[in-house]
Amino acid sequence: MIQVGTVLNVIDNCGAKKVSCIKVMKGFKKRYAFIGEVILVSIKKLRKRRKALSKVKKGEIYKALIVRLKTKSFEGNQDGFSSIENSVVLFTKQNKFIGTRIFGSIVKFFRYTKYMRLIFMSNGLSN
């Protein structure tokens, strides 16, 4: 469950390392966001090696898609799946992903959504 103020890791190669949630999108007075939902984030920390070549700047605001959660998520009749960290992938206001590669695997849930491009950018699928 992600809410306003939650600090998340960025798992793509856009140059950001840590972001903070500003707003949960989709819905009036919606408090929590889960896997596959879009949130508005502010960049808090950049990767050390990528500071000069970074595609993003500290303090800028972007949309982000939640890819991994610490809490267990249940899809249909399947077992629950959880991760070690809360992670997101950044994209622009035109819904184009900023990074070209995702570090680690993502869940199969994205195979049946409009974000199928994530599968091609990642190493593999889990659950």
Q: Is the pLDDT of residue 112 over 80?
A: yes
Distance of CA 31 to the CA centre of its chain: 17
Determine the pLDDT at residue 121: 87
Q: How confident is the model at residue 116 (pLDDT cuts 50, 70, 90)?
A: confident
Residue at 73 is within a domain = yes
Residue at 16 is within a domain = yes
- Containing 46, the helix (H) or strand (E) segment is strand 38-46
Residue at 1 is within a domain = no
Residue at 120 is within a domain = no
Residue at 18 is within a domain = yes
Task: Give the pLDDT confidence of 46-63 residue by residue, as tens digits.
Answer: 988 766 778 899 999 999
Q: How confident is the model at residue 26 (pLDDT cuts 50, 70, 90)?
A: confident
Residue at 117 is within a domain = no
Is the separation of the CB atoms in 90 and 98 below 8 Å? yes
Residue span of the structural domain in which 45 resides: 7-100
Q: Return the residue matching tokens 């994209």.
A: 91
Residue at 90 is within a domain = yes
Where residue 61 sits, what CATH number does that domain have? 2.40.150.20
pTM: 0.88
Q: Is the pLDDT of residue 77 over 60?
A: no
How many structural domains comprise the chain?
1
d(CA 80, CA 26): 24
